[in-house]
């Protein structure tokens, strides 16, 4: 009976969400893998991160079902490098495995998922970089959904990198300091971000009950709507997803006006 009620509720939520405008770009902070493992007595964190990686398959199906065209996932931050080596290797191993599957599995083509990664990629192990390149190459022709992995990513670092790239290019062009200063605008800096072609995220979801962004898409999220979900990422359900989208649809977006 409980399963039937869940199914009917999910169907109702889906009808409601489909009747209104959905986010063009959805950002997700995948939080709670460790807590999920600890609560269930899973001793191997690699297993916990593998469960989190599997959850992505469901979420991509849900996004495709309602027509979301861009999804950005924060899977590993620059701060995560301070964690114990075994935990770092567990996270990156799960990322590599998921990228490899996305490059090979038929659902990537069926859903039209194109993969790319952004961040301080030069800090990553060679095996992770190889998995990123393989997934990007294998899915380059897909056009229905852009899936961006933020790996070794920090929002402040992205802004620093953007400003430095802009200064290097302007200096190379021979611009004087005053010309460079006068050229600094929101639009100019935006051109040097990791993903300048992506629209700003309309909705950002963070799982596991943490009510903060921690620097995710710091520049781009100025006018994003936020939804904080108590469920840990591996336990994130379709109804949680649909509730988040419905909450976004119920808000009046004024963009500072």
Neighbouring-strand partners of residue 225: 203
Helix (H, G, I), strand (E, B) or coil at 186: helix
Cα separation, 186 vs 199, whole angstroms: 14
Name the catalytic one among 80, 161, 175, 240.
80
The alpha helices in 139-202, defined as continuous H runs, are 155-172, 177-182, 186-190
Is 66 exposed, middle or buried, given 0-12, 13-18 or 19+ CB atoms closer than 10 A?
A: middle
Neighbouring-strand partners of residue 29: 74, 206
Cα separation, 192 vs 219, whole angstroms: 12
200 is catalytic: no
Task: Give Dmax (Cα) for the chain.
Answer: 72
Q: Are strands 70-77 and 113-118 parallel, antiparallel or unpaired?
A: unpaired
80 is catalytic: yes
3-state SS string over 15-80? HHHHCCCCCCEEEEECCCHHHHHHHCCCCCHHHHHHHHHHHHHHHHHHHHHHCCCEEEEEEEEHHH
Determine contact, residues 74/22, Cβ cutoff 8 Å. no
Tokens of 233: 């990422």
Active-site positions read: 31, 80
């Amino acid at each position: 009976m409980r399963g039937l009620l869940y199914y009917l509720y999910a169907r109702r939520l889906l009808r409601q969400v489909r009747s209104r405008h959905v986010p063009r770009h959805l950002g997700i902070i995948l939080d709670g893998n460790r807590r999920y493992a600890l609560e269930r007595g899973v001793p191997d964190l690699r297993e916990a991160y593998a469960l989190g990686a599997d959850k992505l398959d469901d979420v991509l199906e849900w996004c495709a079902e309602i027509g979301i065209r861009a999804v950005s996932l924060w899977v590993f931050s620059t701060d995560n490098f301070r964690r114990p080596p075994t935990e770092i290797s567990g996270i990156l191993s799960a990322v590599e495995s998921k990228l490899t599957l996305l490059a090979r599995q038929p659902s990537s083509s069926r859903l039209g998922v194109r993969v790319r990664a952004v961040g301080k990629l030069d800090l990553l192990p060679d095996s992770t970089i190889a998995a990123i390149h393989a997934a990007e190459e294998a899915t380059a022709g897909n056009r229905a959904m852009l899936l961006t992995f933020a790996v070794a990513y920090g929002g402040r670092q992205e802004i620093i990198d953007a400003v430095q790239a802009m200064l290097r290019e302007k200096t190379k062009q021979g611009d004087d300091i005053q010309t460079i200063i006068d050229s600094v605008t929101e639009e100019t800096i935006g051109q040097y971000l990791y993903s300048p072609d992506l629209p700003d995220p309309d909705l950002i979801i963070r799982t596991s009950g943490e009510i903060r962004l921690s620097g995710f898409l710091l520049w781009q999220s100025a006018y994003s709507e936020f939804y904080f979900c108590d469920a840990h990422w591996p336990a994130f359900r379709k109804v949680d997803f649909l509730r988040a989208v419905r909450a976004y649809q119920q808000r009046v977006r004024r963009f500072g006006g």
